[in-house]
Structure 1
């Protein structure tokens, strides 16, 4: 059975949402661990086998998967009946993988650099900037409700996740805002978000 190492209210929360969306909660063991937080709280957890004490981290037997995009691909390939992935041979397989890697290689670096107020021409050349990134999303979402067309998929979950947890980062483009709202209205996300935010008040 795959095992997910997870810290509530962290990047791994989106993988918990994915597991709920896929209907595979009974087929994944979830182990909650602590991680170092930006406010100085928390710290490495000896139960977490991730080599850098990060989450999410997925293991299955002697194999392991890290980085959210890779975990999304692994789980949707491992459980294809959920319909949230695009298996090998599917006509949208390339688009599915491209969006996953776009998130890891473009969106997250750009959002973190903007939050940290770090500017340099090399960063814009390599990773793009917020305007370019949001324009790319907008040009797709102006013509269809989700990134792969008419149906919600795991790429929508992953790419919309920063704006669900950090609404201040919401882009101004109406088509992107409407997409974030559609993704945020899904019952699985609302359930996980409510449960995990409740832990902050304990």
Structure 2
């Protein structure tokens, strides 16, 4: 059985929600991690090489980084229909959004939140407004990133806006999408499990 190493109210919470959505038989083990407020710390029980979360162990396979874990799990549990598998329509868009999140969205959101700006960031990563424009261009045409159906790409890409509500762009299509994604029962169950309510 796969094992997910998880710290409540962290990046791994999205993977807990995904496991719930998939109906997957995954053992979830809670570990501590260093927190931004100085609390917590590395946990010897956490096999992640940097003592971070999420970390998924499935037999000999060890995965870190949310995009990689999401792709692995949606391919492993295709019957849930949360991500197109190889050969299915939409696979390219799915992979693109997972990698866009890891390579562009999260760094840009963190830099924007930290009020850090530099031409090198904008040239290589893009800026917040460009990222918002990419989301708006997609979500003004359809309710979810891949079309009419919710996918694990929506879970991943909407996640930062659940944590940083003041960063939700002033665009109705994006706001509606964030709310639809936040209203998923699995997200509410993860929030309750993590101890911060629905």
**Structure 2 length normalisation: TM-score?**
0.97
Q: Quote how far apart the aligned CAs of 1:87 are.
A: 0.4
| CA distance, structure 1, for counterparts of residue 191 and residue 125 of structure 2 | 29
Q: Does 1:70 align with 2:86?
A: no
C-alpha distance in structure 2 between counterparts of 1:118 and 1:193, whole Å = 30
- For 1:110 and 1:47, how far apart are their aligned partners in 2? 32
Task: Provide the residue aligned with 2:174 in structure 1.
Answer: 176
- Residues 88-145 of structure 1, C-alpha deviations (whole Å, 9 max, x = no match): 1012111100000000000000011112221110100111111000010001100100
Q: Secondary structure at the match of 1:50?
A: coil
Structure 1 position 195, deviation (Å)? 2.9
Counterpart for residue 190 of structure 1: 188
The DSSP-based 3-state class of the residue aligned with 1:124 is helix
How far residue 48 of structure 1 moved from its aligned partner, in angstroms, is: 0.4
How far apart, in 1, do the equivalents of 2:115 and 2:165 lie? 18
| Distance (Å, rounded) in 2 between the aligned partners of 1:149 and 1:134 | 18
User: Larger deviation: 186-195 or 105-114?
Assistant: 186-195
Q: 2:56 corresponds to which residue?
A: 58
Following the alignment from structure 1 to structure 2, what is the Cα–Cα distance between the partners of residues 193 and 29? 18
- Aligned partner of 1:32 in structure 2 is 30
CA distances 1:13-60 after superposition (whole Å, capped 9, x unpaired): 000000111111xx1011100000000000000000100000000011
Residue of structure 2 in register with 1:148 after alignment: 146
SS at match of 2:63: strand
* Counterparts of 2:196 and 2:176, CA distance in 1: 26
Count how many residue pairs are aligned between Structure 1 and Structure 2: 197
SS in 2 for 1:148: coil
Of 73, 85, 88, the match for 1:87: 85
Is 1:116 the equivalent of 2:114? yes
Structure 1, gaps ≥5 residues long: none
Query: Helix, strand or coil: the match of 1:59?
Result: strand
CA distance in 2, matches of 1:130, 1:198: 28
How far did 1:165 drift?
Answer: 2.0
Please identify runs of 4+ aligned residues in structure 1 that moved more than 2 A: none
